[in-house]
Amino acid sequence: MTTYMSREVQEGLEAARKAALRKSSRLRVGVGEPAYPVLKMWEDGFSVDAATVPPLRGLVDLYDGTNHLRHALIVLSSEDDGIVRYEYKLSTAPAKDAPLDFYRDPGAPVALLPE
């Protein structure tokens, strides 16, 4: 038994699948100021919709809503069916404080009291 679907039905199903992925995901990828929706994210990469996101390259920031997840250096992995997959060359968690350029003694006083 063979199943045949017209081209219009297949395109409609593909559009519905992409819309469902966009709605279910709070993930965003930021390149400077604009942030674009991420369809899916996994351990070593993520995917975006080729129709709504311009080609990405270099350093990006990944967000879950407003929560900053990571800084990542990315490269294009593959593109098929309108979905672009990127892989991380380097991925680091964002730091809350600036890195110190000196050693801070753990036993040092926090503040000095005036005399």
- Rounded Cα–Cα distance for residues 77 and 94 (Å): 24
Letter string b/e over residues 11-22, b meaning 16 or more CB atoms within 10 A of that residue's CB: eeeeeeebeebe
Q: Quick one: the chain helix, strand, coil %, rounded to 5?
A: 15, 40, 45
Name the percent of the chain lying above pLDDT 90. Answer: 17
Checking if the pLDDT of 1 tops 60, the result is no
Q: What is residue 73's predicted lDDT score, i.e. its pLDDT?
A: 94
Domains, the chain: 26-92 (2.40.10.430)
Q: Place 2 in a pLDDT band, splitting at 50, 70 and 90.
A: low
CA distances from 61 to 4, 29, 72, 88, 91 (A): 42, 6, 6, 11, 10
The 10s digit of each residue's pLDDT in 51-87 is 888 889 899 999 988 888 899 999 988 888 888 999 9
